[in-house]
Structure 1
Amino acid sequence: MRCHQNHYSRTRFLSIFITVLSVNLAAVFSLDTVNQVREHGYPLKTYKFWTPDKYLLGLERIPYSKDGNGTIGRPVLLLHGLFLSSVIFTLNSSSLSFVLSDAGFDVWLFNARGLGLSRALNIYARDEAPPRMNKISWDFSWHEMGVLDMTTAIDFVLNETGYSKIDILGYSLGTTMALAGLSNRPKYNDKINKLVLMAPTSRLKELGMPLSMVRRYARLITVFLNRVNFLRFSKDPDTKYRMISNICSVKYVFEICKWFIDLAQGVSTPLSNDSVVSILSVFPQPVSSRTLKHYIQLMISRRFCHYDFGPAANMRLYGTVKPPDYNLFKVTAPTYVIHSKDDTIASPMDVKWLVNNLPNVKYVYYIDNVLFGHLSFSLSPDMKELVNLPTAHFLLDDTHENSVRKRKVSS
């Protein structure tokens, strides 16, 4: 009887799997920012430019709202999170790029080296050709993304728009880029009107799941990462994303896909079915092993510091045996911080440490009355009301004062 049940279970699973794979892959697309913006009816422009160390980067732009009169407002640059690209800001009608566009901003969507449009520009030799993931060097971390990619993007946008200052919003990894870039190249603070840090990751001392497990097995994980230049997850990521989208659209598999997202952020939060399928159409993006190793170094050291190349190399590069901390006192741009009580990656205690070490924090917005995790900032059904509309208000309003900060942080 047991053998018959096992045979039936395997047969049923195989039948479901074959059915999923037989679905026309055109039914659910691997999402990209260009198609998402166009599908939602917003105007779109794309740009490409070179960094000082010869990486070709791509920017998407929503110059004005679809319901407006074509007037282009002041520019805002959105910096995406880890394993993500700019598409995270365009998943649905409530997404941040569309909310900011409707509020009158000229929205620029950043893609760090090796990610999103920047990846596509580099690894596809021609249309319909298979990607060549090793066409670029993956020897970089979020330090280079901030010090070189972000600063070059700032100059490019200001040159294109004629503005002297730009608003910057970083989410997760995007905040790490911003803090590294602005502390190492402090003159760029003068080019920023407002800096918004959403779910900021800097010092990684107070960790929940899953990062606490990463810290526990850090040595083993680092040994693996030392063997590869990057985690590609597939030789052809875009084909893989299309397949996963179809699989997760099947109701028998959906709960497993939802579980994967909960595991990634360490807490189970409300998500719509469409959001789950959408995020797994783009997540996880390929990532350099050095980016992950740099984050692991922060978890082990419990500091927000430069990359540790080893004592000898550190002496040559930094003049010290251990890598120095990023000097957050040099991040002088007017700063707004958004975080949540249930974020297990950017924990409230680590965010409080960050706030106390930044010299020009204007306002801290703390979400503590609803269940809101690290990925909720881009996936929650309530993100428009809880995060995106308040963010637009922060950027438009000039009345917030430092006196509000302590009350919000301690709430």
Structure 2
Amino acid sequence: MGLSYIKKNNACSRLIYYPVKDFSPNCYLKQNVVASTPEMIQLNGYKFETHEIVTDDGYKSLAFRIPPKIRDDRKKKQPIILEHGIQVNSEVWTWRGNRSLAFVLVNAGYDVWLVNQRDSGYTTHVKYKMSDFKFWANSLDTVATKGISAVLTTVATATNKSGSIIYIGHSRGATLAFMHASEYPEEAQRILKGVVALAPIVYFEPVFYMKILFHLSPVLSKIVNVLRIPVINYPVEYTAKFYQFLCTFFPYICKLIITLTSGSSSQLSPDDLLSMVSILPVPVSLMQVLQYAQMFHSRKFQKYDYGRKGNIIKYNQEQPPLYNLTNCKLPVYMFYGNCDIFIEEKAVKRLFEELGSSKKEYFRVPSGTNTKKLKFGHNDYFFSEDIEELFYKDLFRVLDKLHSKK
């Protein structure tokens, strides 16, 4: 009979088949490859609302609200905000179909809000285009104070449930939550019921090769400033095509890159390879990457360091101010993976001890004595093949603690 030619194949049962995916009977068409958040919501049979979140510095970002079914009174439709990390957007919460966290939460009766920050690809500006330098000139501090405040206000106003909203943030999403709660504790306490931080980056304990990159950051910073490069992974169309090509014809190299950037994981499914890279190459401000590098070097949770002269102009002091985590009085529940490349228990414990919360806990993923051989990396909160068993069960125990009777 010969080999059939199926142009649209984009998923294979084993990595070895990807270079011949258009011909191989072991490959097939997977609809969630290169699908937007609205497309994935519709593909999985859910209704949604689109909301525009406007910041006071001119950014307009799209948020997608997936309400529970009309007759579903479980949890009294308690709102949950899902805040993505760096180099990704809201698509991370939907890309795995009905196993994705967004849909799992909706099915449990929650009112789910998928938000996007200014570097997500779902954002415009009233004055600047994405190709403009100033569009990307945003520190983590700016996103936390401007972006997160706008998100909280929008969700609280739309739901009329201020005080019962749960915030779930991954990686940078957790960083932003702690920055915001430290700077605006009254606003955070007024609107939020609690924070669930997944792979929270506040203090670093990275693996050795990430330490090397961080140590090179001062040199890279000077090069970036000379060349005036404000962003990486832009334009996203080119980076997306590059990753799709790389992972099709060199799948083992592609998996290695995912492992190096996410952590050693036994949870990657071969047929998810192209789906994974379709959600990853999102543009990111280099200013934010450099701020993380500064935090690594100083070992402090601090604002952006503009240098001695710049700090005097910006902060009226020579060193960047520190965030006061004792201001964060919200209930906080943190999860960290046993193979996270950026943090380990030591870093999470330090954050735990400095928080001003009276209700706070942290958990290792996977938990239990029978899971020691399993590996859970920085991004396995949406990559893991066994996510239900390794993470969702523990997450829902935490959410039950934050259940609001309002």
Category of TM-score, reference length = shorter chain: 0.7 to 0.9
SS in 1 for 2:92: helix
Q: Indicate the percent of aligned positions where both proteins have the same amino acid.
A: 26
Counterpart AA for 1:112: Q
Q: Is 1:89 the counterpart of 2:60 in the alignment?
A: no
Which position in structure 2 is the counterpart of 1:302?
A: 299
Which position in structure 2 is the counterpart of 1:233?
A: 233
Which position in structure 1 is the counterpart of 2:391?
A: 387
For residues 237-268 of structure 1, give each alpha carbon's deviation from its aligned partner in whole angstroms, at most 9, with x where no partner exists: 136425633653x4x52222211101112424
The aligned length equals 368
- How far, CA to CA, are the matches of 2:274 and 2:70 in structure 1? 26
- How far, CA to CA, are the matches of 2:46 and 2:394 in structure 1? 21
Which position in structure 2 is the counterpart of 1:375?
A: 379
For residues 150-193 of structure 1, give each alpha carbon's deviation from its aligned partner in whole angstroms, at most 9, with x where no partner exists: 11111111101111221101100101111111111111222110
In structure 2, the CA distance between the partners of 1:334 and 1:28, relative to structure 1 (3 Å rule), is closer
In structure 2, the CA distance between the partners of 1:71 and 1:200, relative to structure 1 (3 Å rule), is closer
Which position in structure 1 is the counterpart of 2:16?
A: none
Which position in structure 2 is the counterpart of 1:215?
A: 214
SS in 1 for 2:250: helix
Counterpart AA for 1:348: E
From 318, 321, 345, the equivalent of 2:318 is 321
User: Aligned-pair RMSD on alpha carbons?
Assistant: 2.9
Q: Is 1:158 the counterpart of 2:156 in the alignment?
A: yes
- How far, CA to CA, are the matches of 2:31 and 2:331 in structure 1? 45
SS in 2 for 1:159: helix
Which position in structure 2 is the counterpart of 1:356?
A: 353
Q: Is 1:108 the counterpart of 2:105 in the alignment?
A: no
Counterpart AA for 1:354: L
- How far, CA to CA, are the matches of 2:134 and 2:66 in structure 1? 28
For residues 342-376 of structure 1, give each alpha carbon's deviation from its aligned partner in whole angstroms, at most 9, with x where no partner exists: 21212221111101111214322212532111111
In structure 2, the CA distance between the partners of 1:331 and 1:69, relative to structure 1 (3 Å rule), is closer
CA contact (8 A) 2:125 2:135 kept: no
- How far, CA to CA, are the matches of 1:339 and 1:232 in structure 2? 27
Which position in structure 2 is the counterpart of 1:52?
A: 56
Question: When the two structures are superposed, what TM-score results if normalisation uses the length of structure 1?
Answer: 0.82
How far the C-alpha of 1:66 sits from its partner, in A, is: 9.7
Counterpart AA for 2:177: A
How far the C-alpha of 1:41 sits from its partner, in A, is: 1.4
How far the C-alpha of 1:105 sits from its partner, in A, is: 0.6
**Could you list the runs of 5+ residues in structure 2 that have no partner in the other structure?**
1-18, 24-28
How far the C-alpha of 1:134 sits from its partner, in A, is: 2.4
SS in 1 for 2:261: helix
In structure 2, the CA distance between the partners of 1:200 and 1:378, relative to structure 1 (3 Å rule), is same
Higher mean C-alpha displacement, 209-218 vs 305-314: 209-218
SS in 1 for 2:221: helix
- How far, CA to CA, are the matches of 2:136 and 2:282 in structure 1? 13
Which position in structure 1 is the counterpart of 2:266?
A: 269
In structure 2, the CA distance between the partners of 1:132 and 1:54, relative to structure 1 (3 Å rule), is closer
How far the C-alpha of 1:218 sits from its partner, in A, is: 1.9
- How far, CA to CA, are the matches of 2:318 and 2:78 in structure 1? 44
CA contact (8 A) 2:133 2:230 kept: no
- How far, CA to CA, are the matches of 1:45 and 1:385 in structure 2? 30
SS in 2 for 1:197: strand
- How far, CA to CA, are the matches of 1:175 and 1:396 in structure 2? 20
- How far, CA to CA, are the matches of 1:33 and 1:63 in structure 2? 15
Structure 1 runs of 4+ with >3 Å offset: 25-29, 65-72, 242-247
Counterpart AA for 2:305: D
CA contact (8 A) 1:209 1:266 kept: no
SS in 2 for 1:58: strand
From 56, 63, 72, the equivalent of 2:67 is 63
CA contact (8 A) 2:337 2:377 kept: yes
CA contact (8 A) 1:331 1:359 kept: yes
